[in-house]
Amino acid sequence: MREKSILLVEDNPDDIELNLRAIRKCNLTDHIVVARDGAEALDFLFGRGTHAGRDVSQTPTIVLLDLKLPKISGLEVLQQLRTDPHTRLIPVIVLTSSSQERDIVESYGLGCNSYIRKPVDYNEFVEAVRQLELYWLLLNQSPPKRQAV
């Protein structure tokens, strides 16, 4: 059985902690990697920079991606993921505070699999993450790892 892993791309320390608590509470994943900006996320996924030498065939099961990131925006990260044959099939869930229509349209236009506005209430947030994980980590059938199309 394939290891279930999440790449959380988030720059806000409070949101990172909130995400990690919610993810761990659901207990559905084997491994969580946190990238604190878009450049770090791309370095992790493509095995460069501080992640040089990492086995890039070990892709995350899902990417939880904030849009408003330092260095490289979430939309740019999404665009780069979708243009590379080895990362284009990784499910990307935009998890952001933005409810701006242009962010939603552009995210889907670039190939996100889901767009979720972060609930402000802690219990609602935990429930949203629980449902997200139930679907993407248990119910969804992902393509084989490193399957280029």
pLDDT digits (tens, 9 = 90+) for 108-126: 999 999 999 988 888 888 8
The domain locations on the chain are: 5-138
- Tens of pLDDT, residues 57-98: 889 999 999 999 999 999 999 999 999 998 999 999 999 988
The CATH number corresponding to 5-138 among 3.50.50.60, 3.90.1640.10, 3.40.50.2300, 3.40.605.10 equals: 3.40.50.2300
Predicted confidence band of residue 28 (pLDDT cuts 50, 70, 90): confident
Note the pTM of the prediction, 2 decimals: 0.91
Instruction: Please compute Rg for the chain using Cα positions.
Output: 14
